[in-house]
Amino acid sequence: MASSEFGGGRAAWPRRMVLGLGLALLAAEAAAAAPELRVVNRRTRLVLHLPPGLPWKLAAFTNPARLVLDLPGLSWQGPNRLRGAGVVAHAQRQGAGPRQQLLLSLTGPVAPPQVSQAGRRLVLELRPGPAAGFAAFADGRVLAAAAPPPAGKPLVVLDPGHGGKDPGAIGARGTYEKRITLAAALELKRQLEAGGRCRVVLTRGRDVFIPLGERIEQARRREAALFLSLHADSAPGARGASVYTLSETASDRLAAALAQRENQADRAGGLRLPSVSPEVQRILLSLMRQETRSGADRIARLVVDSLDGQVPLLPNTHRRAGFVVLKAPDVPSALVEMGFLSHPADEAALNRPAHRAKLAKALAEAVHGYLEGRSGAMAGLG
C-alpha cells in the first residue's frame, strides 16, 4: 500500500462543531480533540484523546476487513466521518452514548494492531499484513482494551476547586484559592495513598480550568465512592473551616431532571434505571437519593469531628447549599472550605505546608472513617 495515495493528510476540523454527547450531567462537559488519522513512518496511525477511565476496546472483523473501536460516551470536536489514510479507507463514528463505536474500514488485511495508551492518549498503529494472519485474529474477539482500574479498593475523587482562568478567591495578600486547593488536594492524595485503603484521583492535577460538570462526571464515570471538593472561601470578617453538602431541594430537582434525560437518551453510565414503570423508577431514584444524601451527611459529620480541635472552625460548621459540584445524584459529595482567604490569619495558615498537612491528616481520617462504615451501604442500588 503506497501511503502517498492517501497522502497521510489530516482533515480540517470545524473547531466550533461540538458533536457527541458524552455523559455530561450539566451540559458542561468539554469535548475532546478529534481523532487524528495519518501515515507516519509507513504506518497508519490513529491517535485519540480520551477522558480518564474511558473503557475503550478494539476488535477486528473480516468481510469486509474492518476494525471496530468501542468508545462509550466519548465526545469529540469534529465530524462523524474521518478521511482515510494508509490502510484505513475511511473511519466513521457510529452508534451513540454507551454503544458508540469508531468503525475503521480497511483497504485490505492488516497485521495485528499495535495499541498503546499513555495517559489520555490512545495510539493505534496499523500496517498491511497477510490475509491468513488477519483472518486468524479478525474474529470479533477483543484485541486490546483499556486497562481495568485496580480492583478492590474504593475510589475517592478529590476536586481542587477552580484553576486556570478561574483563580477562585484572592486573599488580602494576593493568595490565589486555586493554588491553595491544588496544594491541599495533592497533600491529601499523598496521605490517602500512603494509608493504602483507597485509590485517589484528582479532577485536576495542575493549573487548568475544568468545568464543574466535568468534575462531577469524572466521579460518576468512575463510580467513585466519594467526591470531596476543596476550597478556601472569602467573606468579610469570617474565619475557620466548614463543610457543605447539597441542600435537599436542589438535590431532588436535579436528580429528577437528570433521570428524565437519562431515560430519554437511553444512556448507560448514568443512573441505569431498569425498564420498569415510572412509579417504580421514582421509588428507585428516591432510594438512591437517600443513600447518596446520607453518605454525604456522614462524610460531613466525620470531617467536622476530625477537624475539630485541629483547625479553627466556622460556627455551624456543616452547612447545606446548592453547589453545582455537589449535584451528582449517585456519588456522595461534600465540599470543604478549608478557611477564609479573606481573613489574614487563615490566609497565612493556608499558605503554610505544615498547616495544609494538618488539614489533610484530619480529612484523611474522615475519609478512612467514611470508607470503613460504607460496606454494603449501597447494596441493591448498583
Pick between residue 70 and residue 214 the one whose CB is nearest to Zn ion: 214
Which residue from 161, 171, 270, 332 is in contact with Zn ion, where contact means CB under 5 A? 161
By residue count, the chain amounts to 382
Q: What gap in Å lies between CA 171 and CA 178, rounded to an integer?
A: 11
Which residue from 168, 270, 332, 339 is in contact with Zn ion, where contact means CB under 5 A? 168
22 scored as a contact of Zn ion (CB under 5 A): no
231 scored as a contact of Zn ion (CB under 5 A): yes
Q: For 234-280, list the strands marked E by DSSP.
A: 241-246
Pick between residue 76 and residue 340 the one whose CB is nearest to Zn ion: 340
Q: What gap in Å lies between CA 1 and CA 65, rounded to an integer?
A: 15
84 scored as a contact of Zn ion (CB under 5 A): no
Pick between residue 187 and residue 330 the one whose CB is nearest to Zn ion: 187
**Span of 87-95, 151-159, 228-236, 363-371 interacting with Zn ion by CB under 5 A:** 228-236
Q: Which residues of 171-204 are buried (b: 16+ CB within 10 A; e: fewer)?
A: beeebbbbbbbbbbbbbbbebbeeeeebbbbbbb
**Span of 31-39, 56-64, 126-134, 156-164 interacting with Zn ion by CB under 5 A:** 156-164
Pick between residue 75 and residue 229 the one whose CB is nearest to Zn ion: 229
What minimum distance in Å lies between the beta carbon of 349 and Zn ion?
Answer: 17
User: Which residues on adjacent β-strands are paired with residue 61?
Assistant: 66, 139
**Span of 30-38, 230-238, 287-295, 349-357 interacting with Zn ion by CB under 5 A:** 230-238
Q: Tell me the number of residues near Zn ion by CB under 5 A.
A: 3
Pick between residue 104 and residue 228 the one whose CB is nearest to Zn ion: 228
Pick between residue 107 and residue 242 the one whose CB is nearest to Zn ion: 242
171 scored as a contact of Zn ion (CB under 5 A): no
> What is the grid cell recorded at 125?
498503529
72 scored as a contact of Zn ion (CB under 5 A): no
Q: What gap in Å lies between CA 243 and CA 316, rounded to an integer?
A: 9
Q: What gap in Å lies between CA 2 and CA 14, rounded to an integer?
A: 29
Long-range contacts of 148-152 (CB under 8 A, 24+ apart): 149/53, 149/199, 149/222, 150/199
Residues of this chain that interact with Zn ion (CB under 5 A) are 161, 168, 231
